[in-house]
Amino acid sequence: MSVRTYENRETKRRNADVKMRIEALHEALDHGKGWLSEEVVSRSEQQLAIARGRLRQSLDHTVVALAGPTGAGKSSLLNALAGRQVSKVSVRRPTTSQTMAVVWDSSVEGRGHASKLLDWLGVAERNYVTEEAPNSPNTEGKRSVLNALAQTRSGTAGGDAGAKRRDSDVPKAVSSPKKHKDLLNSGLIVVDLPDFDSVVSQHRVRADHLTARADVLVWVTDPQKYADAIFHHEYLRKFKSHTDMLVVLNQVDRLSAKEKEQCLSDIRRLLVKDGISGATVLATSTTTGEGLSELRSLLEIASARRAAQGNSLIAQLRDCGRLIAEECGSVPSRTDSDQPKAQLVESLAQAAGVNAIVDAVYDSSLRRSHIATGWPLTSWVARLRKDPLRNLGLASRWLPQVTKSRAPQTPLSDEVIIPTSRSSRAGADAATLARTSQAVRAYVDAATHGAPIAWKLEVQRDLKEIDLSDELDSVVANSPSIRLSRPRWWGVVGVLHKVFLALLIAGLVWLAVLAIASYLRLDVSNTPQWMGFPIPTLLTLGGLSAGIVLGLVSRIVSIVYARRISSRVYSQLQSGVEELAHRTVVLPVREVREKREACLLAALVAGR
């Protein structure tokens, strides 16, 4: 009982495993459909359909497919297993064109399930082994039972010299009830497939259909055909990940004992060459009954464990998963380096002319500041030069003079800006366009380095539609950071300049009055003095020198100020560009890469 429970638990676990793999494969396909190769996708989809279909059918039944080349003796083997002639045996090739199933299940309910399962498989002809089978096994233990079974009617199974032929008077036998019952209720279904190598090509189609859906594959071959290219290249290798395979060398009665051993070891060698490790090799003969008991008990065990159903599905799903994983390329390194992104932002900023704007802001700020804080007698010259920002078409972002005392965050300037306005600087000019796409291309190249080509091309195609140059332009043109404010110290310096200018003018006027007075010989000798110097002279010289010094000092301060302003503008533009790059390039690329990773992970799960 406990064994039963354990087996149930095992079965549940296995079915859960199958379901998980189905989910994983489905997910992998979902993520990878755009770029996975067509054959892999179609094979996986087909396999998914098969797995889902099989899961919906009875898992208490184990479908064993007897597959093999024409004339290997599949039908004779089935007859021997069934204990009576269920399948037509003939010397003509190819023989079996209709598939035929033998079901070991005594319960009515079980047979109903089996019937549905066979419907799904597309096997029309069914035979139910009943207890009243005419040739029931005898009591002498399994081996002799099967020997007897094997001898039943096998004389017609083409392929024996007349001398070895036995009569069909098989000893009547009674089974040991328990064993017999076990097999009867085992839920074993053996299907005899058409050949896959004859001139009748429909047989091959049928055989392919069923080998893809069977739970246990029994490859039946014979001493003549065991090394056929088609058998190894197109069949065995296709199923190399199956664990529950059996390779049966039938008709060994044609070989001497030594030859048999040689053949068997040669088959094992070929199987290793095919990459198959999990197959059991068995020598049988329906004529002498050799090996049939082993075959039968192997099948019995397989059906009793109820493991083959899951295992074959797992093997096939695993194959698909591995194929997909192979096409996904290696696991991408998680060192998501910032290097390509930094380069992208840098290149985009350059394409957008951020440096030029920053230069212009610097120049503009310096000019403005020069006008405001330079020595009034010379600073007017600066007005003659055009504002560099105006050259870029960004002059409207210059705060009007009336707002000089307001905070930089004043909304007024925003009202001036037409948000969609395009700076005259760029437009969709060819150079920006070219540089932008260069930057994006370089980024995609770096981000997809080492990935499969098909996927790379897919990513490139996805990103091709993005036209960054427009957005880039609007990011730069509408950046609020380019608004320049009038700092307070400009006003102070301006006032000081006016005071110094006034002093200078007062001094000059005073001196002029004194000069005129002395010209007119008026007595101006008692000019007020301060520390021995005449005050008008002091006023003139003081006003002049203070103005010049203040001009020079404020020039230095202006430079520092302009630098600060421009670096602020730079960082703000840069972050704007970065935000744009992130949104339009980095994120989509990451998204598709994550999709690939998800595909790969799912495929790895399915192919584990």
Quick note: the x/- pattern for another protein over 356-395, rule CB under 8 A, is x---------------------------xxx----xx---
What DSSP assignment string belongs to 354-391? HHHHHHHHHHHHHHHHHHHHS-HHHHHHHHHSPPHHHH
- 103 vs 361 by CB, closer to another protein: 361
Residue-level length of the chain: 608
Q: How far apart are alpha carbons 211 and 192 in whole angstroms?
A: 11
Q: Is 20 in the site for another protein (CB under 8 A)?
A: no
- 413 vs 469 by CB, closer to another protein: 469
Cβ neighbours of residue 319 under 8 Å, at least 6 residues apart? Answer: 47, 241, 607
Among 262-270, 300-308, 404-412, 587-595, which window interacts with another protein (CB under 8 A)? 262-270
Per CB under 8 A, contacts with another protein among 241-260 are 255, 259
Among 10-18, 224-232, 507-515, 548-556, which window interacts with another protein (CB under 8 A)? 224-232
Q: Is 232 in the site for another protein (CB under 8 A)?
A: yes
Strand 533-534 to strand 529-530: parallel, antiparallel, or no bridges (unpaired)? antiparallel
With H, G, I as helix, E, B as strand and everything else as coil, classify residue 192.
strand
Q: How far apart are alpha carbons 173 and 502 in whole angstroms?
A: 137
Position among 23, 125, 266, 346 found at the interface with another protein (CB under 8 A): 266
What residues form DSSP beta bridges with 191? 65, 101
Tokens of 70: 């024409």
Give me the sign of the Cα torsion angle 2, 6, 12, 15.
negative
Q: How far apart are alpha carbons 251 and 292 in whole angstroms?
A: 11
Position among 55, 270, 496, 535 found at the interface with another protein (CB under 8 A): 270
Q: Is 173 in the site for another protein (CB under 8 A)?
A: no
- φ, ψ of residue 587 to 5 degrees: the values are -65, -50
Quick note: the x/- pattern for another protein over 436-455, rule CB under 8 A, is -xx--x---x-------xx-
Position among 43, 52, 84, 93 found at the interface with another protein (CB under 8 A): 93
Instruction: Work out how close the CB of 417 gets to another protein at its nearest, in angstroms, rounded to a whole number.
Output: 18
Instruction: Work out how close the CB of 98 gets to another protein at its nearest, in angstroms, rounded to a whole number.
Output: 16
What residues form DSSP beta bridges with 534? 529
Instruction: Work out how close the CB of 163 gets to another protein at its nearest, in angstroms, rounded to a whole number.
Output: 8
Strand 246-249 to strand 188-192: parallel, antiparallel, or no bridges (unpaired)? unpaired
With H, G, I as helix, E, B as strand and everything else as coil, classify residue 528.
coil
Instruction: Work out how close the CB of 224 gets to another protein at its nearest, in angstroms, rounded to a whole number.
Output: 4
Position among 320, 426, 476, 477 found at the interface with another protein (CB under 8 A): 426
Tokens of 92: 């003509």
Q: Amino acid identity, residue 45? A: E
Q: Is 68 in the site for another protein (CB under 8 A)?
A: no
Q: How far apart are alpha carbons 107 and 110 in whole angstroms?
A: 5
Among 10-18, 27-35, 64-72, 286-294, which window interacts with another protein (CB under 8 A)? 64-72
- 90 vs 130 by CB, closer to another protein: 90
Quick note: the x/- pattern for another protein over 558-597, rule CB under 8 A, is ----------------------------------------
Instruction: Work out how close the CB of 377 gets to another protein at its nearest, in angstroms, rounded to a whole number.
Output: 18
Unique residue bearing structure tokens 């009569």: 167
Q: Is 311 in the site for another protein (CB under 8 A)?
A: no
Answer yes or no: are the C-beta atoms of 208 and 172 closer than 8 Å. Answer: no
CA dihedral 77, 81, 85, 86 (to 10 degrees): -90
- 118 vs 348 by CB, closer to another protein: 348
Q: Determine the angle formed by the axes of helices 430-447 and 453-464, rounding to 10 degrees.
A: 150
Q: Amino acid identity, residue 462? A: D
Q: Is 69 in the site for another protein (CB under 8 A)?
A: yes
Q: Is 202 in the site for another protein (CB under 8 A)?
A: no
Answer yes or no: are the C-beta atoms of 95 and 89 closer than 8 Å. Answer: yes
Q: Is 201 in the site for another protein (CB under 8 A)?
A: yes
Q: How far apart are alpha carbons 155 and 166 in whole angstroms?
A: 6
Per CB under 8 A, contacts with another protein among 452-481 are 453-454, 456-457, 460-461
> How many residues make contact with another protein (CB under 8 A)?
65
Question: Count of CB atoms within 10 A of residue 218's CB?
Answer: 28
Position among 3, 108, 161, 257 found at the interface with another protein (CB under 8 A): 161
Q: Is 162 in the site for another protein (CB under 8 A)?
A: yes
Unique residue bearing structure tokens 């066979």: 118
- 46 vs 265 by CB, closer to another protein: 265
Q: Amino acid identity, residue 490? A: W
Among 90-98, 279-287, 534-542, 579-587, which window interacts with another protein (CB under 8 A)? 90-98
Q: Which residues make up the interface to another protein (CB under 8 A)?
A: 69-72, 90-94, 158-162, 197-201, 222-230, 232-233, 255, 259, 262-263, 266, 270, 353, 356, 384-386, 391-392, 424-435, 437-438, 441, 445, 453-454, 456-457, 460-461
